[in-house]
Amino acid sequence: MSHTPSGLSRRQFLKGLSVAGAASLLPLRLLMPYTAQASTAFSAKDFQTFRNACPRNCYDTCSIKTYVKDGVVQFIEGAQESTFTAGGLCVKGYAYPRRVYSPDRIKYPMVQDGRRTGNWRRVSWDEAMDRIAKKILEIKEKDGSLLGMGLTKYSGNFGITNYGVEGMMSSLGYTTRFVGTPCWPAGIDAQNYDLGDMWCNDPEDMVKARYVIIWGANPAWCSVHSMKYVMEAKRRGAKVVVIDPVFTQTAAKADVFWQPETSSDGALALGMARHILDKGLVDLDFVNNAALGYEEFAAYLRENVTVEWASKVSGIPADQIREVAEEFATADPATIWIGYGMQRHTNGGASVRAIDALVAMTGNVGKEGGGARYGHLRTWGFNYHALIQKQPEGSVGFVGGGGPKGEFDFSKGEAASYTDRTFNINKTAQGILDAKDPVLRMLWVSCKNPFAQDFDRPKLEKAFDSLEMVVTVDQFFNETVANSDIVLPVTTLFEEWTVNVSYWHYWLGINEQAITPMYETKSNIEIASLLSKKMNALAPGSCTFPQDIDTKDWLEKEFNQGIYDYFGIKHWTDLKNGPVKAKLASTASWHDRKFATPSGKYEFRSDICQKNGHEALPKYKEGRKPYDEFRLLTPHTKFGLHSQFINLDWMHEYNKEPYLYMHPDDASEKGIADLDMVRVFNKVGEQRVKVKLTRNVARKSLLIYEAWFGRGNSFNVQNLVDDESADMGAYKTGAPGVAIHDQFANVERV
Amino acid sequence: MSEHSFPVIEALRDFFAATDAAALKEAACRIAKSVGAEIPAHTDWTAAEYEFNRLFVGPAALQAPPFASAWTESDRALMGKAALEARETYHRLGLAVSGEGIIPDDHLAYELEAVLAMKSVLAAGGGAAEADAPTNDGPGTVRSEAGIADLHAWFVGEHLARWLPPFVEAVRAHASAGGVVAMAADALAEWFESECNATTAPRRD
Which residue, B78, B134, B140, is CA-closest to B110?
A: B78
Do the domain assignments include residue A400? yes
A544 and A473 share a domain? yes
Are B201 and A1 inside 8 Å of each other by CB?
yes
Domain range for residue A250? 185-374
Among A545, A561, A577, the domain boundary falls at A561
Among A374, A402, A421, the domain boundary falls at A374
Distances (CA, A) of A295 to A45, A251, A271, A431, B133: 65, 35, 17, 43, 94
**pLDDT value at position A401?**
67
Number of separate domains in chain A: 3
Partners of A9 on chain B (C-beta within 8 Å) are: 150, 153-154, 157-158, 201-204
**Confidence check: pLDDT of A36 > 60:** no
**pLDDT value at position B74?**
76
Convert the pLDDT of each residue in A599-632 to its tens digit. Answer: 999 999 999 999 999 999 999 999 999 999 999 9
A407 and A266 share a domain? no
Do the domain assignments include residue A482? yes
Are B58 and A98 inside 8 Å of each other by CB?
no
A719: how many CB neighbours lie within 10 A of its CB? Answer: 18
Mean pLDDT calculated for residue range A63-73 = 97
Looking at every residue in chain A, the average pLDDT score rounds to 93
Which residues, in sequence order, are CB contacts of A427 under 8 Å at separation 6+? A455, A723, A725, A735
Do the domain assignments include residue A306? yes
A369 and A264 share a domain? yes
* Residue-range domain boundaries for chain B: 6-198
A202 and A347 share a domain? yes
**pLDDT value at position B167?**
98
Convert the pLDDT of each residue in A184-222 to its tens digit. Answer: 999 999 999 999 999 999 999 999 999 999 999 999 999
Are A518 and B21 inside 8 Å of each other by CB?
no
Do the domain assignments include residue A77? no
A280 and A352 share a domain? yes
A29: pLDDT confidence band, cut at 50, 70 and 90?
low
How confident is the prediction along chain B (205 residues), in pLDDT tens digits per residue? 567 889 999 999 999 999 999 999 999 999 999 999 999 999 999 999 999 999 999 999 999 999 999 999 877 899 999 999 999 999 999 999 999 999 999 999 999 999 999 999 998 875 444 555 444 555 567 778 889 999 999 999 999 999 999 999 999 999 999 999 999 999 999 999 999 998 877 665 4
A370 and A452 share a domain? no
DSSP string over B143-196: -SHHHHHHHHHHIIIIIIHHHHHHHHHHHHHHSPTTSHHHHHHHHHHHHHHHHH
Reported as half-sphere exposure (CB side, CA atoms, 13 A), residue B205 has a value of 3
Where is A373: in which H helix or E strand?
Answer: strand A372-373
Which residues, in sequence order, are CB contacts of A573 under 8 Å at separation 6+? none
Please determine, for the modelled complex, whether the ipTM score is greater than 0.90. yes
A199 and A226 share a domain? yes
Angstroms from A13 CA to nearest CA on chain B:
7
A362 and A312 share a domain? yes
Convert the pLDDT of each residue in A673-682 to its tens digit. Answer: 999 999 999 9
A210 and A350 share a domain? yes
A248 and A312 share a domain? yes
Q: Does B81 touch chain A (CB under 8 A)?
A: no
Among A325, A344, A374, the domain boundary falls at A374
Partners of B76 on chain A (C-beta within 8 Å) are: 102-103, 649
Are B200 and A3 inside 8 Å of each other by CB?
no
**pLDDT value at position A32?**
57
CATH topology of domain B6-198: TorD-like (1.10.3480)
- Between residues 146 and 185 of chain B, which touch chain A (CB distance below 8 Å)? 150-151, 153-154, 157-158, 161
Q: What residues does A34 pair with on adjacent strands?
A: none
Q: What residues does A510 pair with on adjacent strands?
A: A499
Distances (CA, A) of A267 to A319, A320, A336: 15, 14, 16
Which residues, in sequence order, are CB contacts of B121 under 8 Å at separation 6+? B128, B129, B145, B148
**Residue A258 sits in a domain of what CATH number?**
3.40.228.10
**Confidence check: pLDDT of A21 > 50:** no
**pLDDT value at position B174?**
97
A136 and A233 share a domain? no
A409 and A549 share a domain? yes
Do the domain assignments include residue A71? no
**Confidence check: pLDDT of A35 > 60:** no
Do the domain assignments include residue A151? yes
Partners of B158 on chain A (C-beta within 8 Å) are: 3-4, 9-10
**pLDDT value at position A709?**
76
**pLDDT value at position B128?**
47
Do the domain assignments include residue A39? no
**pLDDT value at position A598?**
98
Do the domain assignments include residue A481? yes
**Residue A707 sits in a domain of what CATH number?**
2.40.40.20
